[in-house]
């Protein structure tokens, strides 16, 4: 199992989903944790869908700062949400 964590500082850039998907495929990443994507709501869900993972849990960004995303595919394992705050996502 490969887990990757990245302080991406903005997932709203136009080329972000394609670049991130290439990295995930190249390194066979099973769980991806992104900090500070700086987008939330429907826009964030659209980016999560484009990354190619079947499931995700998000802590919403506060304005244009913060946010935490954990993305994974459930065919290998489950990720269970426990609790969260603006700076913590416990699974």
CATH of residue 66's domain is 3.60.10.10
As for how many domains the chain has, the answer is 1
pLDDT at 75: 79
Q: How confident is the model at residue 57 (pLDDT cuts 50, 70, 90)?
A: very high
pLDDT at 74: 80
36 Cβ contact partners less than 8 Å away, ≥ 6 residues apart: 7, 8, 9, 10, 61, 65, 66, 67
Give the range of the structural domain holding residue 80, as residue numbers without chain letter: 3-90
Distance CA 19, CA 21 (A): 6
pLDDT at 18: 93
pLDDT at 4: 94
Distance CA 29, CA 64 (A): 27
Please determine, for residue 76, whether its predicted confidence score (pLDDT) is greater than 90: no
The percent of residues in the chain predicted with pLDDT above 90, rounded, is 65
């Amino acid at each position: 199992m490969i887990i990757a964590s990245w302080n991406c500082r903005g997932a709203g850039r136009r080329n972000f989903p394609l670049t991130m998907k290439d990295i995930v495929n190249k390194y066979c990443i099973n769980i991806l944790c992104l900090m500070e994507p700086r987008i939330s709501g429907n826009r964030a869900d659209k980016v999560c869908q484009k990354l190619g993972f079947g499931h995700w849990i998000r802590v919403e960004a506060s304005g244009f700062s913060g946010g935490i995303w954990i993305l994974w595919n459930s065919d290998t394992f489950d990720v269970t949400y426990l609790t969260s705050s603006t700076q913590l996502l416990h699974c």
